[in-house]
Amino acid sequence: MQVQQTIEQKLTQALAPSHLQVVNESHMHSVPPNSETHFKVVAVAEQFEGMRKVARHQAVYGVLKDELAGPVHALALHTYSPQEWQERAEQSPDSPDCLGGSKREGKGQ
């Protein structure tokens, strides 16, 4: 869980989020057991107020540039202002099932 902890620490320092959830979703993909390659991040921060979604994502990518250049293959981002988070009843969407690699329908058959 070293990569996950690094992501949590960096985002906490950079965003001072009121809510942060980092979920290792690697097990949902075609990767070896105990991988840390696919993550879902839910971040609620005051600084996201008034920012477009793409700007929020760019901010997170900037903080995690080393991880994205290395061990992290995929990052599902759900970024909200505190008001947006309340309006969503403090819920983020579930991640879809992986259809890549050998799980794609018809591939390898």
> Which pairs with CB-CB distance under 8 Å and at least 24 residues apart come from 48-51?
48/79, 48/80, 48/81, 48/84, 49/81, 49/82, 49/83, 50/81
- List pLDDT tens digits, range 78-94: 999 999 999 999 999 88
Superfamily of the domain at 2-91: BolA-like (3.30.300.90)
Q: How confident is the model at residue 106 (pLDDT cuts 50, 70, 90)?
A: very low
- List pLDDT tens digits, range 1-35: 699 999 999 999 999 999 999 999 988 877 877 78
Residue 20 to residue 1: CA distance in whole angstroms: 16
Q: Which of 104, 40, 37 is nearest to 72 (CA)?
A: 37
- Where are the alpha helices (H) located in 1-109, listed in sequence order? 2-15, 53-63, 65-69, 82-87
Query: So where are the chain's domains?
Result: 2-91
